[in-house]
Amino acid sequence: MAGYYIVTGAAGFIGSNLVRALNARGERDIIAVDNLTRGDKFSNLVDCEIADYFDKKDFFEALSNGAFEGGIEAVLHQGACSDTVESDGRYMMDNNYRWTAELIEFCQTEEVPLVYASSAAVYGGSGVFRESREFERPLNVYGYSKFLLDQVVRRQLAVRTAPIVGLRYFNVYGPGERHKGRMASVAMHFFDQYRATGKVRLFAGSAGYGDGDQRRDFVSVDDVVSVNMHFLGKADASGIYNCGTGRAQTFNDVAVATVNACRAQHDQASLSLDAMRAAGLIEYFPMPADLARKYQSFTEADLSLLRRTGYSAPFAGVGEGVVRYVDHLARAA
């Protein structure tokens, strides 16, 4: 008899999409773990099938009491504070580092495969995005919490008793993120701005980049889920891997894709970036000084290690992924 799949952060953005993907594979024995202090997140699970729900604070007690007598097939750990400007370091380290380190210890003791969410924030001020210690320079306590956890995992790899995989997510966008508020993707914010005001606002030039030309690796949640599913049942691929498209694109690219997708909803013709600027559909404003010191103006995942595990699927660029996302947002509006 197969055991349970445990998904932490199950009512959140990536977690709920993972539950949905497991359902699509025919899995129903899923334990959802989350903190519903923000109760509106429940809506992400309404169309999902789960076996049970546990609050985060009760989860370890349930584990120690043998709540899952059928065993555990794997843990997909997505639960974390993802607010990159959170200043409470004690909270961040307790939530993102200590709690996850204890979960890793449990999974290794019980020989349970674990896939957990790391972050491209680990690279911080580095200009090289390769999974190697010399390129890891976090700029904020969020990035440091993920960095420190990855070091724990690296020390564990040589003596592991079960597969353990860390996925360094780059800029993820897609359905299920609305509850994240200010930390939701720029694609969602651009959609909301355009629907409300008929224009979108981007950061002006900084760090040598022109207006809106800062470049990030924007990755669809559909591709992130696909990578997670790739590692389930893969016993020979433990390690830390980048999870992005491998292609940096500008914030202007995201804005143009979003605006044109919104225009298409009303049978309006697509416009170029220059035409949008001339028409006042795109505006720029200065980046706050306190953010500029901690801002990643460029990210681009090196996918070499991921590809070596046999993951060969293509990743959607913003021209495809953002358009698909805007269609979803328009239907939900």
Q: Which residues form the catalytic set?
A: 142, 180
Half-sphere exposure of 57 (CA within 13 A, CB side): 3
In the numeric block, the tokens 């990755």 are attached to: 219
Buried b (16+ CB within 10 A) or exposed e, 15-46: bbbbbbbbeeeebebbbbbbbeeeeebeebbe
Q: For residues 112 and 109, what is the distance between their CA atoms, to the nearest angstrom?
A: 8
Q: Residue 31 half-sphere exposure, CB side, CA atoms within 13 Å?
A: 25
209 touches 297 (CB < 8 A): yes
| Residue whose C-alpha is closest to residue 22's, from 82, 73, 56 | 73
Contact 103, 113 (CB under 8 A): no
Find out whether 142 and 86 touch, Cβ atoms under 8 Å. Answer: yes
Q: Which amino acid makes up residue 157?
A: L
Burial class (CB in 10 A: 0-12, 13-18, 19+), 68: middle
CA pair distance 247, 132, nearest whole angstrom: 19
Distance in angstroms (rounded) separating the CA atoms of residues 15 and 54: 14
CA distances from 324 to 12, 18, 132, 176 (A): 20, 18, 34, 14
H/E stretch holding 117 reads: strand 114-119
